[in-house]
Chain A
Amino acid sequence: MEMTTREFWSMVHGVGFGGLYLLGCTGAMVELWRRYAPSAAGAVTAADEWFMQLYLGAMTVLAWLAVLSGTYIVYPWYRAAPGAGATDLSRYPQRLLLASPATAGWHSIGMEWKEHVAWLTPIAITMSLAVCVRYGKDLRNQPLLRSMVLGFVLASMVAAGIAGFWGAEITSHAPVRGGSAVQLLHGGSQ
Chain B
Amino acid sequence: MNDERELKSSLRPIPNGSGAAAVLSAGIGVCAVAGFALAADKMPAMQRLMIFYRPTGPLSGVTTSAVVVWLLAWGALEVRWRRREVNLPSVGAAAIVLLILSLLLTFPPLADLL
B is a partner of A: yes
Which residues of chain B come closer than 8 Å to A109, judged between CB atoms? 108-109
The answer to whether B26 and A152 touch across the interface, beta carbons within 8 angstroms, is: yes
Number of residue pairs A-B, CB distance < 8 angstroms: 105
The answer to whether B16 and A119 touch across the interface, beta carbons within 8 angstroms, is: no
Chain B stretch 7-39: residues in CB contact (< 8 A) with chain A: 13-14, 16, 18-20, 22-23, 25-26, 29-30, 33-34, 37
Contact with B along A149-163 (1 / 0, CB 8 A): 101100100110000
Contact with A along B84-114 (1 / 0, CB 8 A): 0000110010011001001100111100000
Asked if B44 is an interface residue, CB under 8 A from chain A, the answer is no
> Given that A79-B57, A120-B33 are known contacts, is A130 also in contact with B63, CB under 8 Å in the complex?
no
State in angstroms the CA–CA spacing of A135 and B16 once bound together.
9
Which residues of chain A come closer than 8 Å to B22, judged between CB atoms? 127, 130-131, 134
The answer to whether A71 and B60 touch across the interface, beta carbons within 8 angstroms, is: yes
Could you say which of A72, A108, A117 contacts B103, with CB atoms under 8 Å apart? A117
Asked if A38 is an interface residue, CB under 8 A from chain B, the answer is no
25 interchain pairs, CB-CB under 8 A: A71-B63, A72-B56, A75-B56, A80-B55, A112-B108, A116-B34, A116-B37, A119-B33, A119-B67, A120-B103, A123-B29, A127-B23, A134-B14, A134-B19, A135-B14, A138-B13, A141-B13, A142-B13, A145-B19, A145-B23, A145-B88, A148-B23, A148-B96, A155-B30, A158-B103
* Chain A interface residues toward B at CB < 8 A: 67, 71-72, 75-76, 79-80, 108-109, 112-113, 115-117, 119-120, 123-124, 126-127, 130-131, 134-135, 138, 141-142, 144-145, 147-149, 151-152, 155, 158-159
* Chain B interface residues toward A at CB < 8 A: 13-14, 16, 18-20, 22-23, 25-26, 29-30, 33-34, 37, 53, 55-57, 59-60, 62-63, 66-67, 70, 88-89, 92, 95-96, 99, 102-103, 106-109
